[in-house]
Structure 1
Amino acid sequence: MTTQQAVASRAVRSRLFWPVITLVALFALNVIVSPSFLSIRVHDGHLFGSIIDILRNGSPTLLVALGMTLVIATRGIDLSVGAVVAISGALACSIIAGSPDPGSVNTVLVAIGVALAFSLILGVWNGLLVSVFGIQPIIATLILMTAGRGIAMLITEGQIITVSSPAYKVIGGGYWLGLPASIIIAGAMFLIVGLLTRRTALGMLIESVGINPTASRLAGVRARSITWTVYVFSAFCAGVAGIMISSNVTAADANNAGLWIEMDAILAVVIGGTSLMGGRYSLTGTLVGAFIIQTLTTTVYTVGIAPEITLVFKALVVIAVCLLQSPAMQERLRKRRATTTTTAKAAA
């Protein structure tokens, strides 16, 4: 086997190979339909374009998926992130709308602080149920998923709360250094999580808990504390995403904010190559997966697919990627490549 063949074989076996190929294929499809898809223009010192829109609109999903990645790495799941998104946005907008000076930066900071603090409390609740009381993660977080929308409705009193605050608008709809602020926030979070989990022992400890929590505990790893921490972090990420979403539309909608974002986050994590069985995880894969999900949504509108079959279209693409990543399919592809190589050698 030549060096080029070895590199190609290693690339195909990579968990990121098919997700990246899928993302490139979606970009190619959009370029065919709309040749200006990849173009980026500058207006008033700000960047605009379809790619920028995908990055901006996909930032909340990426944030939620980051927290979900660490939860899944510990062999857990967090179905409550959508509810936390709704609660966080509802709290922030309620505080700003009820303030005598909604445009004040101090008011916005207080609103954000309260929303994130309450999100952390919700994460502590999830972690308590899972790590202390031993309730299965899907059941523990389903409790908050069900009750969370009700809490958000109580905060907003069943109404859509609109706010008029330029300082708050910047978070989800404004620009910093020429880029949408949401991209910078999501990018900073991604870098911080990457440094903390890959440049320290934290990532290895999280993976060890996911692979075998009992063995990890016997080896001296505080499995309960780590499990608790990842649920708190997941809720924090959802809280930031909730602020970002409500800021972008300058309103809090308890019914629709963050609706099904937990499913998009789980899909992004799985597409990125992280196993639902826990253990090894890939933050880069989650990044690619999150933007595949958002690009799929953009592609639906670009290609002109009917809105009522959008979910079917997304499901077909996700199924295709997951099948290509599956061990059985990888084994078949490996055998086919081996057979082709043997046949070529025999012919030579």
Structure 2
Amino acid sequence: MRLDPDTEDLLRRCAPQVLGALVRRHGGFARCEDAVQEALLAAATSWPRHGLPDEPVAWLVSVAGRRLTDEWRSDAARRSREEAVIGPSAAPPADVEALSGSGDPAADDTLELLLLCTHPSLSEPSRIALTLRAVGGLTTAEIARAFLVPETTMAQRISRAKATISAAGASFSLPGNDPADRDARTGEDGSLVTLAEQDRGRWDRATIAEATALLEHALATAPLGPYQLQAAIAAVHAEAASDDETDWAQIVVLYGLLDRRSDNPVVTLNRAVAVGMADGPRAGLAVLDSVADDPRLRRSHRPDAVRAHLLERLGDRPGARDHYRRAARAALNQAEQRYLEGRAARLESGTGRRIVG
């Protein structure tokens, strides 16, 4: 059954909260993640027929909790049968009652879940992949495309990461946190707000200052690496009062250094955008053309999205519109799809701006 985009977006937003609530109450990251996936499938079948529940997160937590209860009871029954034949097992009995533990099922445990996904026992790529899956709500296919690896490879990486967390006995241990302001990167309806359109007055300047100080210390005391360069790029963006006041020339230099230290065509795509802002869209298109035939980008929507952006700045409305539409068809994220389709629609209606450079 094909879900409508609004319901699909709702499930994607709910998933991290549901997983966080289950892991906080019951532990067992891998089992809880499996239970969440089954609850999402149940919602995909039930909600289109019976309508959305009043409390979607609580509904999903309830369904996933029942799944866990059934699994624990099944395990307990299996152990009882085994003990009747071979004697008592060393494994502890299943605590079925614990599955009905107290706590608000709709509480947002995203921060604790994020810290769990970045457990020190995990490798850096595994931390990123698991965070994108558990906290970001991305599918394994979406994450694989972002990493430019086959989906099966990413599925194995995520599975190993979950097993590592379980083996390490990691669990939630932080007190509850106060709800933060709504992300400036999304609109009231969950729509994507690009960097150029964000209200920078809503950015957390204290946190930016703290991060900048840490970056300056790292640059002064450690060899220059890809993470310092990425942080430096973010710092240049954060220091600018607006998109027009951004030091794009400095960002071009930083992306050039990062591009030479990596074998990732996505970095080159980002450099193309920066060059387009600093030196004009024609220069940006020349950089983009250098990776146009890279097979790792064959299924990605990003090359078309970048080309559309640069063509729009160049004043080529038909070309930009066509590439926005191609990018929208290839994008897996609903918010990105709607944004790209919206850009194409604005160019169709003639409301896009013409910037020749």
| TM-score of the two chains, using structure 1 as the length reference | 0.27
Bigger share in strand: 1
Rg larger for: 2
Bigger share in helix: 1
Q: Which has the higher contact order (CA 8 A, sep 6+)?
A: 1
